[in-house]
Amino acid sequence: MSATTSIPVAEPIVIPVREILPWAIFAGLIALLALYFVGAEQGATSLIKGMYVHEFVHDGRHVLGFPCH
């Protein structure tokens, strides 16, 4: 007698675009908000008074190539 074993084959999971789209839009908005705080939260366009946000993201500004001083 011979014993046969079957190896399970992984099938890719299909995710419809309509399920991904809301998460992609949400991630894009969060990325734009982060870009604003790192790149433009200073001076005339500042939403938050003071330099607290600028100092918090100061090193990130330099890493991303934004001039700040």
Domain chopping of the chain, boundaries: 35-69
Cα separation of 44 and 47, whole Å? 9
Dihedral in degrees, nearest 10, Cα atoms 37, 42, 47, 51 = 100
Q: pLDDT (tens digit, 9 = 90+) per residue, 42-69?
A: 666 677 777 777 777 777 778 878 776 6
pLDDT category at 29 given cuts 50, 70, 90 is very high
Read off the pTM: 0.58
What DSSP state is assigned to residue 40?
Answer: T
Exposure letters 27-40 (e unless 16+ CB within 10 A, then b):
eeeeeeeeeebbbe
- Give the per-residue pLDDT at 67: 75
